[in-house]
Chains A and B, each alone.
Chain A
Amino acid sequence: MNIGALEGILLIPALSAALLAVLPGYKLTSRLNMAAAFLTFATAVSLFVVEPASGRYLLVDDLNKVFIVLTTFVAFTTSAFSASYIGHEIDTGRLKPSHVRFYHAMYQVLMFAMNLALTANNICLMWVAIELATLTTVLMVGLYRTHEALEAAWKYFILGSVGIALALFGTILIYMAAQPVIGEGPDAMVWTILMTQAARFDPDLLNVAFVFLLLGYGTKVGLAPLHAWLPDAHAEGPTPISAVLSGLLLNVALYALLRFKMLLALNPASIAPGPLMVTMGLISALFAAFMLYSRRDIKRLFAYSSIEHMGIIVFAFGMGGPLANFAGLLHMTMHSLTKSAIFFAVGHIAQIKGTQRIADISGLTVTHPVLGWGLVAGVVAIAGLPPMGIFMSEFLVVSSTFARAPYLVVILVVAILVALGGLFLKLNTIAFGEPRGSTAPAQASYVPMFAHLAIVFAAGIYMPPALVAGFQNVARLLG
């Protein structure tokens, strides 16, 4: 087959992964890692210019274009961040060069897996890709080989595998539902074909399938009560991986959920997936919001805030409607950018202070103004305060759904407020007050963090019409 942009975003990571697995020296490899990530990003952008035709295995449409570009972009900035981060880890001897080689290779494999999951035109292929991504992250979470890291990895692994199994069962059920209509063979797994025939599938089979898919992929999204792996994995893995997990992997799983939601939406006889998603979203948001209060580990704190935001996003998509869907997409994008920016800041902070205990970090805006205020800006954004982008999405979610489901929205609002309280409770001790801990100057790369924050800020004030049109189009697709 001829190599187009679509294949490019898969091949580049795959090849560079192979290359990085053998190359020594972290300086070179980290540069190469960045280069590859950037190349992938550029290729992904080119998808907007010339849209390649969806093949039998890969597809491109407005929905996953958004996801792809977001993924590749954050992957690129994260690779830039990880260059300086890993450098510091090597200097402090927390990581050995062999680890780093493995790390970079895995990084690219992860990119490959996620891009594959996003572009797969085949529910089974998508499943395989997501599981591949999960397994890679499991390995990376355990990178430090500490008790805690291994425990986190193990937890992630076991829960992840169960999720895998459930998702697969759901996939099989979808096939069973499609097979009588479409006929045997791979055709009954191809998205593009499924979508055209969905109306004639057996509704009850679809319902059961969706339950399994919701739980299976929901585990990856980190919805409560399937979330247990998420905080530990974020807290114990290398910070770039925490950024990628929060910023990307959750989105990829969410993407899968959305696809199946669309599928069910096409079949009038099946149950509406909305209520299920809304319920799980609300549970996650409220639960995570309360969990923020008794956190002692700074990375766990923001991991829980990711759960909360995933809850909000799933709620938005569950409610449906053009405005809510638009808000969901926007919120997802903004959350990816903001949360990864926050993790960039947190990574450097933890490196400088030599600890992740919130109690040991204080007065950051005095000792390290740039990092400190950067973190403050990030938290302001993630807490949904203007003029950052998340405020816009939360505004749209709440205002567009309140008239429809007042009580649910009140719960959501309570969750948002509680989460804000928890975040700022911690931020106050981290960023302000009498300085505590090391005041060593940070050798950090601020560019990725502030690039993300700048985008989030800009989006809160002005959104380019092209982007808006794309989002609105997708929102319409999502129904």
Chain B
Amino acid sequence: MISIALLGVLALVAIAPIAIAMSGSPNATGFVYGSCLIVTLILFLIALEILFAHPAASTVVLPLGLPWLGAHFRIDPLAAFFLVVVNLGGAAASLFALGYGRHEETPQRVLPFFPVYLAAMNLVVLADDAFTFLVSWEFMSLTSWALVIAYHRVHDNIRAGYVYLLMASFGTLTLLLAFGLLAGSDGGYAFDAIRNSHPAAGTAALVLILVLIGAGSKAGLVPLHAWLPLAHPAAPSHVSALMSGVMTKVAVYGFIRIAFDLIGQPQWWWSLVVLGVGGVTAVMGVLYALMQRDLKRVLAYSTIENIGLIFASLGLALAFKAYGMNVAAALALTAALLHVFNHSLFKSLLFFGAGSVLSATGTRDMEQLGGLIHKMPQTAFVFLVGCTAIAALPPLNGFVSEWLTFQAILLSPQLPSWGLKLMVPAVGALLALSAALAAACFVRAFGITFLGRSRSPEAAAAQETDTNSLAAMYALAGACLIAGILPGFFIDALAPVVQQLAGGRMPVQLGGEWMSQWTSIVPIAESRSSYNGLLVFAFMFIAGMVTAFAIHRLASDKIRRGPAWGCGYPDASVATQYSASSFAQPIRRVFGSLVFGAREIGTMPPPGSIAPARLTVRLRDLIWDFTYAPIASAVGVIADRLNYLQFLTIRSYLSLVFGALVILLTVLATWP
């Protein structure tokens, strides 16, 4: 099994040189994405097979990497699950790119890196020793960096790539320190060795903090998220989908692997940190998303929000695990993993949609879009499905994982520690807030982009996207629906993973007699809480159909077209529509001054003057201003100060040498 998986990865790597060789030829795009599609599908099936037939963890050691250690690879249920996520996303992206990739003007800057990027993400999940893990991890960053700067003539993209690469290396170095602590000076880098060496409490805590920083900076936890909204939109859309939908999940994998698997038994207060960070990240992310006017940037920020949700659930799982409440831990962990899966589905879908819009209209600026539902009805439909899913609305899949998270939160009274008892509901409030805001955010995203009237000639002239892209998007939309109405199936599939990490599992969902429990999910007990996506969907569907039928049959079914009523004001210009920023204005008023230091300066012309009234809004990214800007300026200042040393006279250089000599001699003279 694992050898086949590695062969698949090898095949992906092998595509790159062929792509370089074929660069310039028109069939390169088709070849690369086609073969990527095939290979990722194979890997996806392998991973599924392992997950369901779940054989015991299979390992293999190749004579690569660290010479005396070799490269360890291992597939256990956890790895298998994330392989599923990675390769499903990869396959979808490849399929989408089969159509989308034809719009590239410089394909040779994308094609060689795309398969290697996929391979790197697979390797991170497969790796079973610190070195292989970190090599793949950083290689993943490197290849995605190359993809981010594919459109390198736009200066912003270069800057985005720069920030991204710096943050990624920062994360890798932090993880490196973490492994340095885990492995010790004599270098027991294999994960087995790390598992068996039980670190002291203090060490373990430090490791957890380092990992939270390292993996968090990759996943986009506030305040380490700064690179994400820059880098994800800059890349080609199918790559953005991979980065947002899949790579952040690989980062989550890194956190889970170390925090739940390698460190050993957690301490309860760790969860305070993780919970807090997760909750804040969720709310901040979605608030930022609401303020953006760049469609892909909205999606990137909403990724941050979902990552926050995932980490909050992981924090809960840590808390329960710390107190040995395995079933509760299993519930929280299932919620997290299910959301990992769901988010990878609908976020890829949404980025594909954004990509189609981008290639159809040539802009990502929502203020230039509008009315696309008439021009690209199918894209609009799948995008709507994605929005409904990510807004956590039943009967789609986003709601299921969110619901499970809430169920886990409701178990918090059983926690012995008072800090957690009080903290968890507050985090719950944050998550509820972020969920509601997410709904608002995607009403805005879909409404401004697809509904209303076209705000620019480009939008008016848009065409429906190609079949390959549509196929990819329909596939993902279908997956969203299935995961939404048959969640029990997925929860049971996650059972081995959860068993491995939390030492417990949720009750079996499928089965039970046909009516009462069938297809409904029951976290703890039926009297406590249950949800049946299928029936909710069926009820709404039937009710809607029956009403429609009845009304059309018994009452009128006639349609007349006319100008919009609008209280009798005819809106001549499309500019009178609500714009993206005006739509966000009420929420900006509520949260803006607190989070963004928002300033609204309205200038009213004096009566009689014909000057236009202006409203200018200033938003500051406080996190950037107070975290990153100071660091950057500090580096600049130090560099300038030290740079004087470049321009000294020889005599001053000699005096430096002399000074060093005298100092060292003094040290010797005063040596005990």
Chain A interface residues (CB < 8 Å from chain B): 154-155, 158-159, 162-163, 166, 207-208, 211-212, 214-215, 219, 225-226, 228-229, 231, 271, 276, 287, 290-294, 321, 323, 363, 365, 380, 383, 385-387, 391-392, 395-396, 398-404, 409-410, 413, 416-418, 420-422, 424-425, 428, 432-434, 460-463, 465, 468, 472
Q: Is there an interface contact between A400 and B187, defined as CB atoms closer than 8 Å?
A: yes
B160-215, CB < 8 A from A: 161-162, 165-166, 169-170, 173, 176-177, 179-181, 183-187, 189
A382 to B: closest C-beta gap in Å: 13
Q: Hey, which chain A residues are within 8 Å of B161, CB to CB?
A: 428
23 sampled A-B residue pairs with Cβ under 8 A: A208-B668, A214-B664, A215-B660, A225-B659, A226-B656, A291-B639, A291-B646, A293-B636, A294-B646, A386-B134, A392-B65, A395-B131, A398-B176, A403-B181, A404-B185, A428-B158, A432-B149, A432-B158, A433-B153, A433-B158, A434-B153, A461-B64, A468-B67
Residue from A155, A293, A386, A400 within 8 A of B180 (CB atoms): A400
A-B contact count (CB 8 A): 168
CB-CB under 8 A for A219 and B657, given A386-B139, A409-B177, A420-B166: yes
Q: Hey, which chain B residues are within 8 Å of A271, CB to CB?
A: 668, 671
Q: Is there an interface contact between A211 and B185, defined as CB atoms closer than 8 Å?
A: no
Q: Hey, which chain A residues are within 8 Å of B657, CB to CB?
A: 159, 162-163, 215, 219, 225-226
B interface secondary structure, majority = helix
Residue from B131, B149, B635 within 8 A of A418 (CB atoms): B635
Count of interface residues, chain B, beta-carbon cutoff 8 Å: 59
Say whether B650 faces chain A, with CB atoms less than 8 Å apart. Answer: yes
Q: Hey, which chain A residues are within 8 Å of B152, CB to CB?
A: 363, 365, 432-433
CB-CB under 8 A for A215 and B155, given A228-B656, A291-B643, A399-B179: no
Say whether B418 faces chain A, with CB atoms less than 8 Å apart. Answer: no
Q: Is there an interface contact between B187 and A399, defined as CB atoms closer than 8 Å?
A: yes
Q: Hey, which chain B residues are within 8 Å of A229, CB to CB?
A: 653
Kindly report which residue of chain B lies nearest to residue A154, judged by CB atoms. B650
Q: Is there an interface contact between B187 and A323, defined as CB atoms closer than 8 Å?
A: yes
CB-CB under 8 A for A400 and B654, given A293-B635, A417-B173, A428-B158: no
Say whether B514 faces chain A, with CB atoms less than 8 Å apart. Answer: no
Q: Is there an interface contact between A392 and B131, defined as CB atoms closer than 8 Å?
A: yes
Say whether B648 faces chain A, with CB atoms less than 8 Å apart. Answer: yes
A172 to B: closest C-beta gap in Å: 16
CB-CB under 8 A for A420 and B169, given A159-B653, A215-B664: yes
Say whether B380 faces chain A, with CB atoms less than 8 Å apart. Answer: no
Kindly report which residue of chain A lies nearest to residue B638, judged by CB atoms. A290
Q: Is there an interface contact between A403 and B648, defined as CB atoms closer than 8 Å?
A: no
CA distance A433 to B63 in the complex (A): 40
CA distance A420 to B169 in the complex (A): 9
Q: Hey, which chain A residues are within 8 Å of B67, CB to CB?
A: 463, 465, 468
Say whether B665 faces chain A, with CB atoms less than 8 Å apart. Answer: yes
CA distance A272 to B664 in the complex (A): 14
Q: Hey, which chain A residues are within 8 Å of B187, CB to CB?
A: 323, 396, 399-400
CA distance A410 to B645 in the complex (A): 25
Say whether B642 faces chain A, with CB atoms less than 8 Å apart. Answer: yes
Q: Hey, which chain B residues are within 8 Å of A163, CB to CB?
A: 657
Say whether B142 faces chain A, with CB atoms less than 8 Å apart. Answer: yes
Q: Is there an interface contact between A462 and B185, defined as CB atoms closer than 8 Å?
A: no
CA distance A461 to B132 in the complex (A): 10
B654-670, CB < 8 A from A: 654, 656-657, 659-661, 664-665, 668
CA distance A418 to B635 in the complex (A): 8
CB-CB under 8 A for A207 and B668, given A219-B657, A392-B131: yes
CA distance A329 to B166 in the complex (A): 27
Residue from B142, B636, B656 within 8 A of A225 (CB atoms): B656
A34 to B: closest C-beta gap in Å: 29
Residue from A294, A392, A420, A433 within 8 A of B640 (CB atoms): A294
B218 to A: closest C-beta gap in Å: 15
**8 further A-B pairs in the complex, CB-CB below 8 A; given A159-B654, A402-B177:** A226-B660, A293-B643, A294-B639, A294-B640, A392-B131, A398-B173, A400-B185, A462-B64
Kindly report which residue of chain A lies nearest to residue B184, judged by CB atoms. A403
Say whether B66 faces chain A, with CB atoms less than 8 Å apart. Answer: yes
Q: Hey, which chain B residues are within 8 Å of A404, CB to CB?
A: 185
Q: Hey, which chain B residues are within 8 Å of A293, CB to CB?
A: 635-636, 639, 643
CA distance A215 to B657 in the complex (A): 8
Q: Is there an interface contact between B650 and A159, defined as CB atoms closer than 8 Å?
A: yes
Q: Hey, which chain B residues are within 8 Å of A380, CB to CB?
A: 142
Q: Is there an interface contact between B166 and A417, defined as CB atoms closer than 8 Å?
A: yes
A338 to B: closest C-beta gap in Å: 15
Kindly report which residue of chain B lies nearest to residue A429, judged by CB atoms. B158
Kindly report which residue of chain A lies nearest to residue B154, judged by CB atoms. A433
Say whether B130 faces chain A, with CB atoms less than 8 Å apart. Answer: yes
A162 to B: closest C-beta gap in Å: 6
Kindly report which residue of chain A lies nearest to residue B65, judged by CB atoms. A461
CA distance A156 to B569 in the complex (A): 82
Q: Hey, which chain B residues are within 8 Å of A211, CB to CB?
A: 661, 664-665, 668
CA distance A398 to B185 in the complex (A): 10
Q: Hey, which chain A residues are within 8 Å of B653, CB to CB?
A: 155, 159, 228-229
CA distance A290 to B640 in the complex (A): 9
Q: Hey, which chain B residues are within 8 Å of A226, CB to CB?
A: 656-657, 660
Q: Is there an interface contact between B668 and A290, defined as CB atoms closer than 8 Å?
A: no
Q: Hey, which chain B residues are within 8 Å of A433, CB to CB?
A: 152-153, 155, 158
Q: Hey, which chain A residues are within 8 Å of B139, CB to CB?
A: 385-387
A357 to B: closest C-beta gap in Å: 15
A148 to B: closest C-beta gap in Å: 13
Q: Is there an interface contact between B162 and A425, defined as CB atoms closer than 8 Å?
A: yes
Residue from B142, B169, B671 within 8 A of A207 (CB atoms): B671
Q: Is there an interface contact between B135 and A399, defined as CB atoms closer than 8 Å?
A: no
Say whether B76 faces chain A, with CB atoms less than 8 Å apart. Answer: no
Residue from A323, A421, A465 within 8 A of B186 (CB atoms): A323
Say whether B626 faces chain A, with CB atoms less than 8 Å apart. Answer: no
Q: Hey, which chain A residues are within 8 Å of B65, CB to CB?
A: 392, 461-462
Q: Hey, which chain B residues are within 8 Å of A403, CB to CB?
A: 180-181, 184-185
Q: Is there an interface contact between B177 and A321, defined as CB atoms closer than 8 Å?
A: no
